[in-house]
Amino acid sequence: MLFIGETNLMSDVLTQLSEDMAAAVERAAASVVRVEGRRRMPATGIIHSADGIIVSANHVVERDDNVRIGLPDGTTASAQVVGRDPSTDLAVLRVNGSGLTPANWDLNKEARVGHLVLALGRPEATVQATLGVISALGEGWRTAMGGMIDHYVQTDVTMYPGFSGGPLLSASGYFVGLNSSALARGVSVTIPAVTIARVAGTLVQHGRVKQGYLGVSAQPVRLPSAVAQQLNQETGLMMLAVEDGSPAANGGLAMGDTLVAMDGHPVRMMDDLMSMLSGDRVGKSVPVTIVRGGATHEMSVTIGERS
């Protein structure tokens, strides 16, 4: 049972919290833009530097030309696509302008499980917000396309249409990262600030992020019982096709081989293989284990670069 004084105190606390969060949204809005890069509803982007660099989610920038940016002052400007990294779902855009307000990124990883956060979006002229908490934090992980995300950030915020590419904002006003609805099914994940800084820097400098390439098409298959017992692994990837002159062909892989390990890591599903084809392995010779004729064989393949 709450007494009148306690009720008033709680009301004061909630009112102050609401005012503080509204003020944080107002400040952050100066760094949040609308991205018109697809036929359906516009999405959101974040001003990364005062000279016109903007980061957004790659999957919402469906075209390379005629991209328009709705700036915080209400004006609209054309944007150039500087580069993309589908493996981390990041795209970097550039608008002609100066004096823009860059995001205040949380590079020190101050976020903790249970912290209140706001997801911001600007699919229309004004900024929209939704409230939630950070529900999970974890170590670095690789996406299904092999992109390295420096640490795992999961929230329970509702990703409304047009919010992809927008920021996750801490209660203290820091930009924790960029929200994406394309990296994990049914889960709201945030690309952390440190990953954005690394990938955006590479895209600005080189226009692309290296992606490994093997040159095969494959599907998961069950391993023979004796091999499965030997490897303590039930499935591998059977090579349905191996491109002529590809890294896989040059390394001796052939149609019908079953890939079960690469660089010391088990390969059971296609996602396992994709995670091994990261940019840092391009040009490196890595050991692979295959099953051919019912027996395991050790080989090596030099990872190529996807064009």
Q: pLDDT digits over 235-270, tens only? A: 999 999 999 999 999 999 999 999 999 999 999 998
Amino acid at 18: S
44-64 pLDDT, tens digit per residue, is: 999 999 999 999 999 999 999
DSSP 205-227: HHSB---EE--EEEEEEEPPHHH
Residue 291 burial class via C-beta count within 10 angstroms: exposed 0-12, middle 13-18, buried 19 and up: buried
Name the residue among 34, 24, 30, 77 with its Cα closest to residue 50: 30
Q: For the chain, give every residue range classified as CATH 2.40.10.120.
A: 1-203
Say what the pLDDT of residue 6 is.
61
State the Cα–Cα distance between residues 19 and 168, nearest whole angstrom: 18
175-221 pLDDT, tens digit per residue, is: 999 999 899 877 889 999 999 999 999 999 989 888 889 999 999 99
212-305: CATH topology is: Pdz3 Domain (2.30.42)
Amino acid at 140: G
SS3 at position 171: coil
Mean pLDDT, the chain, whole residue set: 92
Q: Is the pLDDT of residue 142 over 90?
A: no
Say what the pLDDT of residue 215 is.
95
Are 60 and 34 spatial neighbours (Cβ–Cβ below 8 Å)?
no
Q: For the chain, give every residue range classified as CATH 2.30.42.10.
A: 212-305
Are 76 and 68 spatial neighbours (Cβ–Cβ below 8 Å)?
yes
Cα–Cα distances (Å) from 305 to 145, 204, 214, 278, in that order, read 14, 19, 8, 9
1-203: CATH topology is: Thrombin, subunit H (2.40.10)
Radius of gyration of the chain (CA): 23
Q: Is the pLDDT of residue 5 over 80?
A: no
* Residues sharing a CB contact under 8 Å with residue 270, sequence separation 6 or more, in sequence order: 218, 219, 220, 237
* Residues sharing a CB contact under 8 Å with residue 108, sequence separation 6 or more, in sequence order: none
State the Cα–Cα distance between residues 49 and 33, nearest whole angstrom: 13
SS3 at position 11: helix
Annotated active-site positions, please?
59, 89, 164
Say what the pLDDT of residue 8 is.
73
Say what the pLDDT of residue 17 is.
83
260-297 pLDDT, tens digit per residue, is: 999 999 999 988 898 888 878 899 999 999 999 999 99
CA angle at residue 145 from 47 to 60, to 5 degrees? 35
Rounded to two decimals, the pTM is 0.79
- pLDDT band with cut points at 50, 70 and 90 for residue 1: low
